[in-house]
Amino acid sequence: MKGANRIGSDLSEQIKEVTKDNHVRAENTQLMLNYQKGQITLPQYKILLCSLYEIYRALESELDRNSSHPAVEPIYFPQELARLEPLERDLEYFFGPQWRKQVIVPAATHKYAERLREIGKSNPNLLVAHAYTRYLGDLSGGQVLGKITQKTLGLNSNEGVAFFSFPGVTSPHRFKQLYRSRMNSIELSEEEHRKVLDEAVRAFEFNIEVFDDLQKMLSITEASGGSGNQNGQTTPLTAISGSPVIQFTLGLGVVLATVAMGVYAAF
């Protein structure tokens, strides 16, 4: 991380620098470009929501549990940033009242969630890297991706896209400035600082690897069907989980949750 030391002491700037190459790679993957063109399908979007739910359930559980930790307290903004409740509304919209019984959690999502729970228990400092890349990425790209998703899937209201809305943030630009300032105020030793930067890189790399695998499976996913209407009028994910192709594709689907939002992050 010697390069990071040359760009100043701000943790936010250092994360931006050490993940720069990863960021560019994520932005230019074919699936991300397709998403920007409005070429996401309903089955893909529902997989996204399932993955997001599991990831944020783990992240916000650990942030809540460590809210008084010296590294977490400065960047703990549950009223402004919490995504779990909006995700639950979106999932209920697409899967119906019994959505919890229909959500399938991909294997890759499990791994990411397990990592969040692991560091929440053993090294809460590292939650800073995940919270920053997730929340600021989602906040930066939320408006754009929300409108793209709404138009592509033919949604006539805000139903089904609550995840992209941050009603507690009146000015994303000012809030991101506040968030960076709070994060940069966290006191870390040189070793702790390095580990946070390493964790940010690790998160990006994990997602890019999954993203590349998902791109290879796209044509097979589309050929497997799984289409349907909203408001729960769909083939439940649980009903198709027996297919090896679908199982594998679901295992890769976390990429949309962990990269598609974050690539827009105006770090």
pLDDT of residue 6: 40
pLDDT of residue 140: 87
pLDDT of residue 106: 67
pLDDT of residue 218: 46
For residue 16, give the 3-state DSSP assignment: helix
Mean pLDDT in runs of 10 for the chain (267 residues)?
A: 52 93 76 75 82 92 98 98 97 95 77 93 97 90 86 89 95 96 96 96 73 53 48 36 37 39 45
Domain ranges for the chain, please list them: 2-264
Task: DSSP for 100-162, please give it.
Answer: HHH----HHHHHHHHHHHHHHHH-GGGHHHHHHHHHHHHHHHHHHHHHHHHHHTT--SSTT-G
pLDDT of residue 226: 45
Contact criterion met (CB below 8 Å) for 141 and 263: yes
Residue ranges for the known binding site for heme b are 16, 23, 132, 180
Q: Count the Cβ atoms, other than its own, within 10 Å of residue 157.
A: 8
pLDDT of residue 52: 86
Residue ranges for the known binding site are 16, 23, 132, 180
CATH class of this structure's domain 2-264: mainly alpha
pLDDT of residue 227: 39
Predicted TM-score (pTM) of this structure = 0.80
User: What does the alpha-carbon distance between residue 50 and residue 6 come to, in Å, rounded to a whole number?
Assistant: 40
pLDDT of residue 209: 62
C-alpha R_g of the chain: 18
Contact criterion met (CB below 8 Å) for 30 and 215: yes
